[in-house]
């Protein structure tokens, strides 16, 4: 029985599935330098997962992390960071999900959970406050994530426990496999579900009864109220409340910013967009849903009552779904897109990594590289959603062509020895974002330490078109709102990379730190909240320094694995112009890109030519250990 | 039912454990360029296992290969090549074992067997001529290799089937895990057993009823008889017949060539050597044993009838055992060494990779780096065989400290951040051979494409002290028999690398091609035998060209995975002189080593500085595909 848990000083739980050893250590050992959540996860990963330990090795770690604010009423701070080696890139893997699992883990007394080793038989982990048990999961193996939740809740006789689990995709080591909690909140990217599967770990169930205490409750609650007010009055957040994220599909189309037919174009027929629009979605919405402590309720519970998909229901869809399964595969049938979303959640497949490899297969089919007979008889025409469902099943169970597609488009094309130019990946991971119009956004996505993705350095200042005065004031970058220029974007991306490292280490929602001061909290605001929670004085500058440290650790891990500046290029496709729509003709320019990389590496204090970290920078960040190690490996600048 | 199988033109069987797909293709597709066995295995590996596919990925291949002579009466041609990605080096993995499994596979009609994917549940493969079945192995999982053999034979109701399987070590993805057939014939190095475990494949059982036919039976049998005569009259072979390989321990000590206490010295107290000598072994020998079609019978069935190890029995020991578990761990108790050998076979552990990591732990204990409390209370003094048995169990089941040691000494030391200098590894794999006195031998061992080992380029001409006249005649290297010089050794090593690539592709025993013409077959002799078997004209020169091609493919795979010339250095320990015995003072010299590498790379036609292959060389070997791919990866010289 746990009673009072200090927001800033819980424990790290470590479970070795190979030999059943269970230990704890104080979070404070790492919190000073790495804050929490993603920061601590990544540091443990760097220290313990050395080169030559591969994703599916027992010695790989799968690390779950919460953060100081998690479990408190701090709005949106109910998230969970999951970190491990990346099955796509070989570098760091990192993903983040909402829901209620993170806070529950913290109520049980654990800021972080390190899973290592590999169980001999399928198992699940049962964390009941300080009673930890590795339980047999033979009877659950093979089940969908939803059935798994039901079976475990029934077995443990408690409907209130929180569960993070994998579906059959994870069990079958499909690279696109994700980790799902609440049946719909997903840590999607980097193939973390397949790593969980490689450990024969079907699920983690948690029940926590502790209460989170903060150092200065009065001050903390005052700041929390202010924070909530700012969220509720923010325009971007209002749109999320009203429509969920799906509205972004419509907005993106206005600038030809959609990944149409595997990124071949950016503009999707407006009639098709309308069919997947927020308006069209209305009639399927049963109710609005939110993650723990979040006032926004951006999620929707959907139910299809008529037609061929009658009976399909569940939480969804995101703009990720309508872009990935909508325009990327050219499916303009909303019920089919909803169905694809639900299937992903049940199989435990990441939306983007799944749609990405299917889009590749569809383009290969279009170009005659893959033929019907290569595809177990499927006709992979754009928009053929029945074939897409069939492929999703084949990928999940590695049936027929699914066994190849389960490796992702990059490896699949390498294995086939063809179709490599249609594999739209960054560092090997399927891409979600379109990278032509917004130069800073493109830079942030491509530089992301996980292999693509807009959740790290990509600035939304461009799509918000903030004024040059605001840009100057908040980031020292007057062009922050100007999507057309590369100028200043290196500096801007660095700002967001550092900021997001903090946000993920405190486990605040992406959206809550994206729409920016004065609308939403600045680093200084976060530092104040942190100080009230922990009783330790913290400044915005200090926080950003921690963010920089975390980013440097991730960079060093990637460098150690052979990922370097050469991997910071966008796919060739984005140097070709958009073919239609308002953004027609827009593209990235190789020369400017390269120059911007120069600038980025210079500002980062890394070697401009090789991209390797410098000793001075690492030591300045108190990462002398990292410098020493990279030097030994010949990978220090 | 299979009846007649052409020695040179069977089938390649392919089993995808993920989706149960079973296919065959004609061996001739690959045989012209890659001969068979290891050659074909490695080419399939190169083509299908692209970078970023890690050892335990379902997409990794585990490939078994026989060869033209396997299943015929050609003496010693009863072996089996097993190839996959290497869990120690990340490059190629390759091992070879004797016994009867290889011929049986061929009697079933298969020259090679490609296993890919990953079964959802523990399974074993049952190859009954052309009936192939993936069978449930839940009831066998967890069992020793011996119990596995018994259970499968009982289940299939046939005592004559051949089985290759893994023990608990393989199931638990211990890097030192090997693949065992006949309970004692082991494909040991490179961690291939853990790869089999990662596929949830417990065993492969084979029954073949076909008969191998050759093109020119009369000629073939005449050559086979000559071959057998030469083996039986060869001095080295005679010693093997009389004593088994164990006599090499005694011989090595005369030149301080033993890996004493983790290679700290080369000379082991002669009293200790006597205790493990062939003379001492006599009283445990029940009978002599041989692999299929081998007249040598170098193996022994042992039984201990008295003392603390009473009842221990099984096939063993090799000089590998007495060196690895004897002098490397300073155990001078013969029954204990026999026991360690038997445990390795039952757990499915490779002798050298197991003893290597234990020797590392012992030296760390000696130096105070690992303490009793780090070692679950074990006192790891040299020679403490009870602690060694306990560690073997811990490693096999990944219990306590065993979970760390299961990663091998290199990764264990990296994870701990200490003890790295006591990790005696080549490219990450534990070393068996001492590398101080014989310069050519050392070069061959260090350059081995699998990460150490004397089964590729290491010439025995030095220990045989062949005359300069013979050296000149057979290899164009008058210094071939002179162990003291580096001169000519690059050329000599290349000769043996190419020759061994052929020998493993025909699956002849190491010993049968090591003691050299005029004593044993030259490439020309092998070519004659090949021609008689296949009806295709082949010359010695053509064979050696195939050997060179195979070696280049292996090199390219390693290069693709980032292994380069920098990894061709011996551990620092061998630049320090031997401390005692007849070899006192002997050591390798860094400057000469580097110059010899220059020479080696030049002769190989690769870039001398980087070690990368050149287009001209690859294209000359009809490996344009490889050149093209390396170029794309920026890894062509």
Burial label, A633 (beta-carbon count in 10 A; 0-12, 13-18, 19+) = exposed
The pair of three-digit structure tokens given for residue B303, joined into one six-digit string: 């039984």
Residues 6+ apart with CB under 8 A from A71: A5, A7, A77, A78, A102, A103, A106, A107, A212, A292
* Contact predicate B164/B63, CB 8 Å: no
Task: Kindly report the number of other CB atoms within 10 A of residue B624's CB atom.
Answer: 12
pLDDT (0 to 100) of residue B336:
98
Q: Is residue A134 part of a domain?
A: yes
Q: Kindly report the three-state secondary structure assignment for every residue of B80-139.
A: EEEEEECCCCCCEEEEEECCCHHHHHHHCCEEEEEEECCCCCCEEEEEECCEEEEEECCC
Q: Is the dihedral of CA B110, B113, B119, B123 positive or negative?
A: positive
For A534, which DSSP code? H
pLDDT at residue A4, rounded to an integer: 86
Spatial distance between the Cα atoms of B584 and B580, rounded to a whole number of angstroms: 5
Q: Is A123 helix (H, G, I), strand (E, B) or coil?
A: strand
Instruction: Assess whether B51 and B135 both reside in one domain.
Output: yes
Residue B611 sits in a domain whose CATH number is 1.10.599.10
- pLDDT one-digit tens code per residue, A303-347: 999 999 999 999 999 999 999 999 999 999 999 999 999 999 999
Q: Are residues A136 and A119 in the same domain?
A: yes
Residues B134 and B269 in one domain: no
Both B448 and B426 in one domain: the answer is no
Question: Which of A47, A414, A572, A632 would you mutate first to test chain B, the one with the most B CBs within 10 A?
Answer: A414
Supply the pLDDT for residue B514: 72
Considering the domain architecture, whether residues B555 and B450 belong to the same structural domain is answered as yes
On whether both B365 and B471 belong to a single domain, the answer is no
Reading phi first (left if > 0) and then psi (alpha if -120 to 50, else beta), residue B68 is in: alpha
Cα separation of B548 and A320, whole Å?
A: 51
Min Cα distance B334 → chain A (Å) is 32
Q: Based on the domain organization, do A443 and A477 belong to the same domain? A: yes
> How far apart are the C-alpha atoms of A147 and A129, rounded to whole Å?
24
Indicate yes or no: CB of B428 within 8 angstroms of CB of A52. Answer: yes
- The pLDDT value recorded for residue B257 is 94
CATH number of the structural domain spanning residue A277: 1.10.569.10
The Cα of B532 is separated from the nearest Cα of chain A by a number of Å equal to 37
CB-based contact A10:B375 (threshold 8 Å): no
Specify whether A74 is located in the same domain as A194: yes
Backbone angles phi, psi at B255, to 5 degrees: -120, 25
Considering A430, A451, A484, which residue would you say is the last residue of a domain?
A430
On whether residue A397 sits in a domain, the answer given is yes
CA A613 – CA B88 distance, rounded (Å): 27
The closest CB to that of B59, out of A118, A399, A411, belongs to A411
Q: Report the number of distinct structural domains present in chain A.
A: 3
Cβ of B48 within 8 Å of Cβ of A397? The answer is no
Same domain (yes/no): A20, A101: yes
Q: What is the pTM of this model?
A: 0.96
For chain B, the residues whose C-beta falls within 8 A of a C-beta of chain A are: 16, 18-19, 21, 48, 50-59, 88, 90, 117-118, 120, 141-142, 171-173, 198, 397-400, 402-403, 406-407, 410-411, 414-415, 428, 562, 566, 634
Task: Using alpha carbons, list the distances in angstroms from residue A284 to A280, A290, A314, A323.
Answer: 8, 17, 10, 18
Q: Look at residues B469, B315, B408 and name the one whose alpha carbon lies nearest to residue B89.
A: B408
- Most B CBs within 10 A among A19, A45, A88, A176, hence the mutation to make, goes to A19
Domain-embedded: residue B83: yes
pLDDT digits (tens, 9 = 90+) for A7-29: 888 999 999 999 999 999 999 99
Q: What ipTM score was computed for the predicted complex, to two decimals?
A: 0.93
> Which one, of B475, B630, B476, B635, lies nearest residue B564 by Cα?
B635
pLDDT given at position B91:
98
Of B430, B464, B486, which residue is a domain's last? Answer: B430
* HEC readout, B574-632: HHCCCCCCCCCCCCCCHHHHHHHHHHHHHHHCECCCCCCECHHHHHHCCCHHHHHHHHH
Distances (CA, A) of A615 to A635, A636, B6, B97: 10, 7, 63, 48
Which residue is closest to A18 within chain B, CA to CA? B398
Nearest C-alpha of chain A: how many angstroms from B350?
19
* Beta-carbon separation of A19 and B397 below 8 A: yes
Which residues of chain A are modeled with pLDDT < 70?
A: 1-2, 515-519
Given a cut of 50, the residues of chain B with pLDDT beneath it are none
* pLDDT score recorded for residue A519: 62
With beta carbons less than 8 A apart as the criterion, state whether A68 and A534 touch.
yes
What local confidence, expressed as pLDDT, does residue A514 receive? 73
Residue of B nearest to A17 (CA): B398
Chain A to chain B Cβ contacts (< 8 Å): 113
B chain contacts of residue A428, beta-carbon cutoff 8 Å: 52
Task: Tell me which chain B residue has its CA closest to the CA of residue A174.
Answer: B58
Instruction: For residues A451 and A592, state if they share a domain.
Output: yes
Spell out which chain A residues touch chain B, with contact meaning CB-CB distance below 8 angstroms. Answer: 16, 18-19, 21, 48, 50-59, 88, 90, 116-118, 120, 141-142, 171-173, 198, 397-400, 402-403, 406-407, 410-411, 414-415, 428, 562, 566, 634
pLDDT, residue B386, reads 98
**Coil, helix or strand at residue B432:** coil
CA B201 to chain centre: 21
If you compute the radius of gyration of chain A from its CA atoms, what whole number of angstroms results?
23
What is the nearest CA distance from B534 to chain A, expressed in angstroms? 32
- Half-sphere exposure of residue B501: CA atoms within 13 angstroms, side-chain side: 32
Q: Which two tokens stand for residue A115?
A: 């899973």
DSSP assignments along B544-561, one per residue? HHHHHHHHHHHHHHHHHT
A-chain CB neighbours of B566 within 8 Å are: 634
Picking from B120, B402, B414, the nearest residue to A171 by CB comes out as B120
Same domain, B103 and B176: yes
Q: What is the H or E stretch that residue A416 is in?
A: helix A408-416
Q: Is residue A217 a part of any domain in this protein?
A: no
* Residue range(s) defining the domain that contains residue A145: 11-207
User: Contact at 8 Å (CB) between B378 and B361?
Assistant: no
Is A257 in contact with A583 (CB distance < 8 Å)? yes
Predicted confidence at residue A578, as pLDDT, reads 96
> Tokens in use for A170?
């994870």
Q: Which residue of A has its CA nearest to B53?
A: A411
| B175/B250 same-domain check | no
| pLDDT for residue B513 | 81
Question: Of B155, B190, B207, at which residue does a domain stop?
Answer: B207
A330: in domain: yes
One DSSP character per residue, A215-241 reads SSHHHHHHHHHHHHHHHHH-HHHHHHH
Q: Which two tokens stand for residue B32?
A: 């012209």
Convert the pLDDT of each residue in B51-104 to its tens digit. 999 999 999 999 999 999 999 999 999 999 999 999 999 999 999 999 999 999
Contact A325, A313 (CB under 8 A): no
What is the three-class DSSP state of B218? Answer: helix
Residue ranges of alpha helices (H) inside B289-447 are 319-321, 334-347, 351-366, 385-397, 402-405, 408-416, 439-447
Give the CA dihedral B164, B166, B170, B175, nearest 10 degrees.
-50
- Whether A590 is covered by a domain: the verdict is yes
Chain B residues close to A562, C-beta within 8 Å: 562
Cβ–Cβ < 8 Å for B395, B354: yes
Nearest to A173 among B90, B118, B398 (CB): B118
Report the candidate in A204, A106, A112 with the shortest Cα–Cα distance to residue A164.
Answer: A204
Is residue A286 in some structural domain?
Answer: yes
Beta carbons of A399 and B19 less than 8 Å apart: yes
Tell me the two tokens of residue B229. 């005569």
- Predicted pLDDT of residue A318: 93
Q: Does residue B216 form part of some domain?
A: no
Number of C-alpha atoms within 13 angstroms, CB side, residue A28?
8
């Amino acid at each position: 029985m746990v009673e009072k848990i200090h927001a800033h000083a819980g424990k790290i739980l470590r479970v070795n599935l190979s030999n059943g050893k269970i230990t704890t250590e104080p979070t404070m050992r790492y919190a000073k330098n790495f804050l929490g959540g993603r920061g601590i996860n990544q540091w443990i990963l760097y220290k313990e997962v050395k080169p030559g330990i591969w994703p599916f090795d027992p010695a790989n770690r799968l690390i779950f992390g919460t953060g100081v604010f998690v479990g408190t009423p701090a709005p949106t701070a109910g998230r969970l960071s999951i970190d491990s080696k990346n099955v796509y890139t070989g570098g760091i893997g990192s993903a983040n999900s909402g829901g209620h699992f993170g806070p529950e883990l913290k109520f049980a007394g654990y800021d972080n959970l390190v899973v290592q080793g590999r169980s001999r038989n399928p198992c699940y982990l049962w964390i009941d406050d300080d009673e930890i048990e590795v339980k047999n999961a033979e009877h659950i193996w093979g089940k969908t994530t939803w059935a798994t939740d039901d079976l475990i809740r029934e077995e443990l006789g408690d409907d209130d426990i929180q569960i993070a689990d994998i579906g059959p995709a994870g069990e079958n080591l499909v690279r696109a496999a994700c980790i799902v909690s609440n049946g719909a909140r997903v840590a999607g990217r980097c193939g973390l579900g397949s790593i969980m599967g490689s450990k024969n770990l079907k699920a983690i169930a948690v029940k926590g009864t502790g209460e989170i205490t903060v150092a200065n409750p009065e001050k903390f609650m005052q700041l929390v109220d202010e924070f909530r007010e700012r969220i509720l009055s923010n325009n971007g957040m209002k749109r999320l409340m009203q429509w969920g994220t799906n509205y972004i599909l419509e907005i993106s189309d206005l600038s030809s910013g959609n990944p149409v037919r595997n990124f071949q174009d950016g503009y999707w027929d407006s009639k098709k967009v309308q069919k997947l629009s927020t308006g069209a979605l209305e009639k399927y919405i049963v109710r609005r849903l939110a993650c723990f402590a979040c006032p926004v309720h951006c999620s929707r519970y959907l139910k299809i009552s008529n037609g061929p998909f009658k009976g399909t229901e569940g939480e969804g869809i995101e703009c990720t779904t309508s872009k990935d399964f909508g325009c990327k595969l050219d499916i303009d049938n909303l019920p089919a897109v909803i169905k694809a979303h639900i299937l992903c959640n049940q199989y435990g497949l990441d939306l983007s990594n799944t749609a990405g490899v299917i889009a590749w297969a569809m383009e290969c089919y279009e170009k005659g590289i893959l033929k019907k007979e290569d595809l177990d008889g499927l006709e992979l025409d754009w928009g053929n959603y029945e074939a897409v469902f069939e492929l999703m099943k084949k990928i999940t169970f590695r049936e027929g062509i699914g066994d190849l597609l389960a490796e992702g488009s990059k490896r699949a094309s390498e294995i086939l020895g063809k179709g490599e130019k249609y594999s739209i990946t960054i560092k090997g991971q399927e891409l979600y974002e379109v990278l032509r119009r917004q130069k800073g956004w493109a830079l942030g996505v491509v530089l992301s330490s996980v292999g693509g993705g807009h959740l790290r350095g990509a600035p939304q200042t461009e799509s918000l078109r903030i004024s040059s005065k605001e840009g100057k004031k908040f980031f020292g970058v007057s062009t922050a709102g100007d999507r057309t220029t590369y100028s200043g974007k290196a500096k801007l991306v660095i700002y967001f990379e550092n900021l997001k490292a903090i946000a993920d280490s405190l486990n605040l929602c992406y959206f809550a730190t994206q729409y920016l001061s004065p609308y939403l909290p600045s680093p200084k605001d976060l530092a104040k909240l942190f100080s009230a929670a922990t009783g330790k004085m913290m400044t915005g500058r200090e926080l950003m320094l921690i963010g920089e440290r975390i980013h440097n650790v991730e960079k060093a891990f990637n460098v150690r694995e052979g990922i370097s500046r050469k991997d910071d290029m966008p796919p060739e496709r984005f140097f070709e112009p958009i073919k239609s729509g308002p953004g027609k003709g827009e593209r990235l320019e190789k020369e400017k890109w390269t120059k911007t990389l120069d600038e980025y590496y210079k500002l980062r204090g890394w070697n401009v030519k090789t991209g390797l970290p410098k000793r001075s920078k690492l030591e300045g960040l108190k990462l002398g250990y990292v410098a020493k190690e990279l030097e030994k490996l010949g990978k220090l600048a």
